Amino acid sequence: MGKSPYIKRVATDTDQSADKIFGSWEVTETRGLTQSNNILTAKQVHGGNIVRATQVTNGTEADGIFLTNDSDQAVGVMTADCVPVIIMTENKALALHVSRKTLVNGLLDNVLNYLEPKEIDYIYVGPHICEYHFSFAREELMLRRFRLRFGRATHWHHGSIYLSLKTALQYFFDEWEMHPDKIHYDGRCTYEMLALPSYRRGLDSGQTGKIGSLITAVRRRSVT
C-alpha cells in the first residue's frame, strides 16, 4: 500500500487549496500576480530542463527544480492552466511545470536523471486545465508531436483537437510502475474554478490583463 499524506485543510467554499504534508515534505499553493520572494523559481520556458536548487540564479531557464532535504529552501513552479507536479522521495523532491510543450520536450524523461522510480513515495498532481476545455482549432507541429507520442491523451470533437495532460502524465506513471496510492490528484480544473488562475479562461473572456499564477511549492517539513 502507498503512503497517505496528512492534509491540513485551509479551504473556503470557493477555494479548496490546502497545505499538504507528504512524509518529510510540505506542499503549498499560493495565488499571486508575481513570484514570491520566499519561493525559489526559475524562468519557465516550456522546455525539458531541470536544474538543482543550488544552481538557480536570476534568469535561470528551467521547467523543473530539484531539491534535497538538507536545505530549508522552498522551490516551486508557476502555473495558470499547466500542471504543477511535485515528485517526492524520502530525501529528494522535484517541482515540475508540466505543459504540452514540456511533455514533448522531454521534461518527464529528464526526471530519471535525478531519481529512480523505485525511490518515489509520493507524486502530487496539482490543479490544471481539464481535457474538456483544452482544445485547439488546428494541429500545428508541436500538437502533432504530442498526439503521436500521447495518442490516448488526445481526441477530436467538432473539428478541434482536445488534450488531456492528466492522461499524458499517466504514460510516465505507468512506465515507472507507480502504484495508484502514491499518486495524489488535486482534481480541480483551473478553467472551471474561478478562484484559480486560468490563461485559457482569460482568453475566452477577453480578460488577460491580471490572470496571475498559482505558485505550487515544496519544502522540507518543519518538525517541532
The per-residue DSSP string of 171-208 comes to HHHHHTT--GGGEEE---BTTT-TTS--HHHHHHHT--
Q: Where are the domains of the chain?
A: 6-129+166-220
State pTM to two decimals: 0.90
In this prediction, the residues of the chain whose per-residue pLDDT falls under 70 are 1-18, 33-37, 208, 223-224
Q: For residue 6, what pLDDT is reported? A: 35
d(CA 109, CA 38): 29
CB 63 within 8 A of CB 45: yes
The DSSP output letter for 108 is H
Q: For residue 75, what pLDDT is reported? A: 97
In this structure, whether the domain defined by 6-129+166-220 belongs to CATH 3.30.360.10 is answered with: no
Query: 119-150 in b/e burial notation, b at 16+ Cβ within 10 A?
Result: ebbbbbbbbbbbbebbbeeeeeeebebbbeeb
Q: For residue 36, what pLDDT is reported? A: 67
d(CA 182, CA 202): 33
Neighbours of 201 (CB within 10 A): 22
Q: For residue 222, what pLDDT is reported? A: 78
Q: For residue 32, what pLDDT is reported? A: 76
Q: For residue 90, what pLDDT is reported? A: 95
- Where would I find the H helices in 3-149? 100-104, 107-110, 141-149
Q: For residue 211, what pLDDT is reported? A: 85
